[in-house]
Structure 1
Amino acid sequence: MSAAPLYDRVALIGLGLIAGSMGLRMRRDGLAGEVVGFARSAETRGVAVELGLCDRVAESAAAAVAEADLVVLCVPVGAMAAVAREIGPHLAEGATVSDVGSVKCAVIDAVGPHLPDHVNFVPGHPLAGTEHSGPRAGFPELFENRWCLLTPRPGTEAAADRLTRLWQGLGANVDRMDPDHHDLVLAVTSHAPHLIAYTMVGVADDLGRVTDSEVIQYSAAGFRDFTRIAASDPTMWRDVFLNNRDATLEILGRFTEELFALQRAIRTGDGEMLHDYFTRTRAIRRGIIEAGQDTDAPDFGRAHGERPV
């Protein structure tokens, strides 16, 4: 006999890669009695029905959250305030509201004021994804051995414990973190690297126009691997940078200082400095490998020749 579901009804607002993967896993493993989804686009709602991402797709966000004991906001950070304002009056007493945004302080400021006192707000951030987006990009193994960071609000310990069990059921490792610290850590591990990758593609494009696109045509594995994340959803990343600007700018400032130091070492022929620097950073990379965080989850969408909606 299978275990009882952790939630009777889960509402997923926004049906892209993260929500689609959550829905597929929850339905497959019986983590929720019912999964209800909503997306603004009628096309996306149709794809969600076609792929079985949810048990039911609602025609409005308000209808989706009705009687749900867990609501997960899976929309870009810049859209969360409007969604929270829309669903606030329709949330069930005792329900938990969470999200999957890559920024936490801005989400708390945007969502919190629109939630009634009778719900529990437990912001979250699964550190998982691919460069693909849309409902067709989802697959149930996306969160396997990935981290999900929770930043619970005061007085929500029981709700956070229950949500922790859900994310563990989805395959993730779970940790809790202060929202400010989360945003600084993610600026280092995700936000600044994405911005640098976008910048390198822009530089290559500029050079490519000068050299008859040879830079693009003859891209080596290093360039392809380093800039893969620059194919990520532009709306999501626009909102991330606008809503985590202080931490991102701090890390980019430090990156610029490091880059200037390396530039000087190359200019002056300081091979010892370069060797020591590369040795130290290689050790950090090996630590990432040993932690099991060096491989991407299986790319379901690419393997099936699918494109995001």
Structure 2
Amino acid sequence: MPEPTTPLFDTLVIIGPGLIGSSILRRAREDRRIARHLVACDISPEVRARVAELDIADAVEADPVAAVRGADCVIICVPVGAIAMVAAQVLPVMKPGAILSEVGSVKKTVMDAVQPLLAAHPDIAFVPAHPMAGTEFSGPDAGFATLFEDRWCLLTPPENTPPAAITRITTLWEMMGARVRCMTVEHHDRVCAIVSHLPHLLAFTICGTADDLADETRSEVLDFAASGFRDFTRIAASDPTMWRDIFLNNREALLELLDRFIADAQAMGEAIRTGNEDVIVGRIRRGRAIRRSLIENRQA
């Protein structure tokens, strides 16, 4: 008879079981090789009650301090602006050798805020992660076990992070179905500014522009919305608090790329104004090529 497989973690704690957090719990619930004991923690009584109803955790806690005692791995899944505050609460009570992680979409400001806290707790490894997956929905009902399948998860561990901790978090995300890559926080924030943050900024802005139109035209926009506008509205339906924090915490990289986009948009406008077909067709072809690449890379 084969020996039972030892789980990657004995106790895994998810603080903030929203879309990402509840998806981690669902995957770990299905695959008990990930963790023997799953703990969900949230300050909202409604969220805690719903997590209990969904039965996606073995225990549900209101207090992060109580939730993390004895845990092998703690993953903070709250908006970027609150990550450091939660880290400050849990680090003093985490057991030696445990791993602290988070799933924020911005890394530089999080690292700047958390590293001074880590200095007082050198026996805790910090391995930030960013699963590049999501939908426009939020809350514990929004999650699903296959959310991370074939998606990238970017790790940004500080220098001198124990290799064993990086290996365990890498294994965690691979068991979630993700592809994993390590990079610096600066490179991460610049990459995410162009592939995620700027597109969301544009979607929110375009929907705002449509909403500001005269009543008659606005009604027609809503009545006759074509696929392009519908795609923007799907992105624009994302959680306001989360995206406020992302924009403000990644402002330098985002504003730099926004300036480049404005210049490129003006160049395209000038090509349309002057009838420069070569520029127009060239830009469209580049867009088509990017789309084909995404499909080939299984990211579309």
TM-score of the two chains, using structure 2 as the length reference: 0.95
Q: 1:8 maps to which residue?
A: 10
Q: Percent identity?
A: 52
Q: 1:140 maps to which residue?
A: 145
Runs of 4+ in 1 over 4 A off after TM superposition: none
Counterpart of 2:102, as a letter, is D
CA distance in 2, matches of 1:112, 1:217: 50
Counterpart of 1:199, as a letter, is T
Q: Deviations over 1:213-267 (max 9, x none)?
A: 1111110111102331110111000000000000000110110011000000000
Tell whether 2:99 aligns with 1:93. Answer: no
Quickly say closer, same or farther: Cα 1:253–1:133, change in 2 above 3 A.
same
Give the match's secondary structure for 1:11: strand
CA distance in 1, matches of 2:107, 2:214: 38
CA distance in 2, matches of 1:38, 1:195: 30
Is there any run of 5+ residues in structure 2 with no aligned partner, and where?
none
TM-score of the two chains, using structure 1 as the length reference: 0.93
Tell whether 2:205 aligns with 1:203. Answer: no
Q: 1:58 maps to which residue?
A: 61
Q: How do 1:146-157 and structure 2 match up within 5 A?
A: 146-156=151-161, 157=163
CA distance in 2, matches of 1:243, 1:220: 33
C-alpha contact 2:211 2:218 (8 A) present in aligned 1: no
What is the deviation of 1:82? 1.3
Q: Deviations over 1:196-228 (max 9, x none)?
A: 000010011112535251111110111102331
Q: 1:77 maps to which residue?
A: 80
Q: 2:25 maps to which residue?
A: 23
144-153 or 79-88: bigger deviation: 79-88
Give the match's secondary structure for 2:28: helix
Q: How do 1:236-255 and structure 2 match up within 5 A?
A: 236-255=242-261
**Number of residues of Structure 1 aligned to a counterpart in Structure 2:** 294
CA distance in 2, matches of 1:273, 1:88: 54
CA distance in 2, matches of 1:181, 1:250: 14
Considering only aligned residues, what root-mean-square deviation do their CA atoms show, in Å? 1.1
What is the deviation of 1:84? 1.2
CA distance in 1, matches of 2:214, 2:149: 38
Is there any run of 5+ residues in structure 1 with no aligned partner, and where?
295-309
Give the match's secondary structure for 1:211: helix
